[in-house]
Structure 1
């Protein structure tokens, strides 16, 4: 049976240590760490920051479910529109792509330091001048370097697919995993993303069984082909009873992490009400 965690990316108006404390207060067993500003933007996340985080984790007895390195918004002084994933692992510019590979290695270092089983990373979008077939080559080369770093440290790397990214659905992430063929590569399974893409969630869970490094969960209005806006369970249309039944049937016993970055002004309500709703199923 899965345990519940909550991502600090809902608490971007709070420090990382305070976010950990508040998540613990709501009864979660785990916490996902945002590997980006304002929490752990790695070029600026130093020894003192790490000590403060470790102290908060020790004091709350929370496990770390995942280090979320999907975005690197701290890269920008004034982020342009739709910059969420740039620089990415598929960026055409060699220097910027190398920057992102090194950034992901620092996420692995943090995961290793705090006992997180995995980091997750998104692929980014194939932007103008970088057609998908070339972007795919960049992705595979980037992942080889990242996995060479992750495997000796016992950290898994989960690709988080998302509609409109290079890897946007279950078919594509499973094909990538088969092509790269590395034991430490899996999928960080965001079930809201699968729902928006139009997938049957029980089938998605069954197909990815054994390759899931972590699960992200949120409610979505409209379910399949719904709008990609993360909501508190009960405020959308997903069937959480069937989701947790499918996770049990698949033998998944890792963390299910609520990812509700859409509630920065009321993260405690999001954490509290999510726990109240999901306690029915775990």
Structure 2
């Protein structure tokens, strides 16, 4: 573990799971299941019906906090990735995410951007992000934008344009190692260049040129090396497993991911 801040057992204590895969499960059951597997943190996804901002009353937020505390987990971030083409709808959901991130004291909201075809010149997306960043600054929350193939913020070039445009705002980078492998090629070099911006790390494998979030070990990436590069460049946050939906049950995928991470960090 030369160059890492953490021992193997400590890396496992930094392992979390993105809750989107469990969007059809009751929140309490999903949290309990992931905790029993050994996960230590969660990325709470607003796409889960129990986390929809229009349902988040003070009483409901207290219930969510209790579920997470009873599971012995922490919240690493809140996220929202729009599946639609309406930037105004996405913005309202993301504003609710800012409030939830503040209430849960994780202080990070991870967001994706619209499909490129829905906003070809990116103008609507940039205006919406500028508005979201103003709110986030008021609330003490960082907006970690995740570049994703075929969206407005497709890769790190587009992220750099955004960063220049909103310099001085609470903008961070959510680095998905699979996305970066697809859009940039050299993940280690991208981590080194953008390290000061990295606020969130999504872990999944990919096969060359296929935008599918695979289990660690099912693609071509050297995930261990990439984690070490993150650590060597002062990223001390959680490692959030982020998988695509398949025919397998989400708990089965989460269990296999944990087993493979235990092997990787042994």
Same fold (TM over 0.5): yes
> Residue 74 of structure 1 aligns with which residue?
none
Root-mean-square deviation (CA, aligned residues, Å) is 2.0
Q: Partners of 2:42 and 2:75 in 1: how far apart?
A: 5
Do residues 281 (structure 1) and 253 (structure 2) align? no
State the aligned residue count.
254
| Correspondence for 2:18 among 7, 32, 48 | 7
User: Does the CA contact (< 8 Å) of 1:240 and 1:281 recur in 2?
Assistant: no
TM-score (norm 2): 0.88
* Pairing 1:109–2:95 present: no
Q: TM-score, structure 1 length as denominator?
A: 0.83
Correspondence for 1:236: 219
Matches within 5 A, 1:1-282: 1=5, 3-71=14-82, 84-88=83-87, 97=88, 99-127=89-117, 130-132=119-121, 135=122, 137-222=123-208, 226-263=209-246, 265-279=248-262, 280-281=264-265
Q: Cα distance 1:252–1:159, how it changes in 2: closer, same or farther (>3 A)?
A: same
Q: Deviation of residue 51 (structure 1)? A: 2.8
Residue pair 2:24, 2:48 contacting (<8 A) in 1 also:
no
The CA distance in 1 between the partners of 2:156 and 2:112, in whole Å, is 13
User: Equivalents in 2 of 1:240, 1:7: separation in Å?
Assistant: 17
CA contact (8 A) 2:17 2:242 kept: yes
How far, CA to CA, are the matches of 1:221 and 1:144 in structure 2? 34
Question: Counterpart of 2:64 in 1: which secondary structure?
Answer: helix
Deviations 1:146-187 (A, max 9, x none): 112112322110111111111111122122112211341011
List per-residue Cα deviations over 1:18-58 (Å, max 9, x = no partner).
Answer: 21111111111210111114342222344443232111111
Q: By how many angstroms is 1:100 displaced? A: 2.8
Unaligned residue ranges in structure 2 (runs of 5+): 6-10
Map Cα deviations across residues 85-122 of structure 1 (whole Å, 9 max, x no partner).
4323xxxxxxxx2x432221110111111122311111
CA contact (8 A) 1:17 1:52 kept: no
